């Protein structure tokens, strides 16, 4: 696989964050998530979007990813439980993306901050599992 540039890595993370943000906004609109938890998650995603956009600023030509609503989201919004499972999966994929990006990004000054967002994203999975009443919180 061709190595991706730092801008490409950050654009992919930004697309992920937009997807999560859209999911939590939709879940809050459709009452598919506890309001307090949904707002907590949504506010974190907003901060992550802001941070990645800030990291992208001044890094040359942007190549934004098109973001289209995921068809699975519509189905997931049918109930709190199905949305919770969907969100856990999305957060898990995002942790994987951050893990890869934090390791491979060339700008060494961004590795720790990306790891910091990854850590928050891993904590989101715990919060979602707890909200679904799962006894096991660990991966």
Partner 1 sequence: MAPSLTRREALGGAAAAAVLASCGGGDPPPSTGPAPGSGAALLGSLLALERAAIAAYGTCAELLSGRALQHVRGMTAQERGHASRLERLITDLGGEPAPGRSAEEQARTFPRLGSADDALRFAEDLKERELRAYLEALAELPSVDLRTETSRICADEANHLGAIRVLRGLPAAQGPFVTGAL
d(CA 24, CA 21): 5
Told to check if 35 binds partner 1 by CB under 8 A, we report: no
What contacts 128, CB < 8 A, 6 or more positions away? 37, 41, 84, 87, 88, 91
Beta carbon nearer to partner 1, 81 or 130: 130
Neighbours of 14 (CB within 10 A): 21
Choosing from 27, 55, 73, 87, the residue that interacts with partner 1 (CB under 8 A) is: 55
Beta carbon nearer to partner 1, 32 or 117: 117
Structural tokens at position 20: 């999560």
Choosing from 35, 54, 63, 79, the residue that interacts with partner 1 (CB under 8 A) is: 54
Nearest CA among 54, 61, 59, 43 for reference residue 127: 43
Choosing from 28, 40, 85, 89, the residue that interacts with partner 1 (CB under 8 A) is: 40
Neighbours of 76 (CB within 10 A): 23
Helices marked H in 57-107 — which ranges? 71-76, 80-104
Residues 59-78 within binding reach of partner 1 (CB under 8 A)? none
Told to check if 15 binds partner 1 by CB under 8 A, we report: no
How many amino acids of this chain bind partner 1 (CB under 8 A)? 42
Residues 85-124 within binding reach of partner 1 (CB under 8 A)? 95, 98-100, 102-104, 108-124
Smallest separation, CB 64 to partner 1 (Å)? 19
């Amino acid at each position: 696989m061709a190595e991706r540039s730092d801008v490409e890595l950050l654009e992919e993370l930004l697309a992920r964050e937009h997807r999560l943000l859209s999911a939590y906004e939709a879940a809050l609109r459709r009452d598919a998530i506890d309001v307090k938890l949904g707002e907590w998650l949504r506010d974190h995603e907003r901060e992550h979007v802001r941070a990645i956009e800030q990291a992208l600023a001044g890094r040359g030509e942007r190549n934004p990813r098109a973001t289209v609503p995921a068809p699975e989201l519509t189905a997931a919004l049918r109930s709190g439980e199905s949305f919770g499972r969907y969100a856990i999966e999305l957060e898990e994929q995002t942790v994987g993306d951050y893990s890869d990006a934090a390791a491979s990004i060339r700008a060494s000054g961004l590795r720790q901050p990306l790891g910091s967002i990854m850590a928050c994203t891993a904590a989101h999975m715990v919060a979602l599992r707890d909200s679904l009443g799962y006894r096991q919180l660990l991966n």
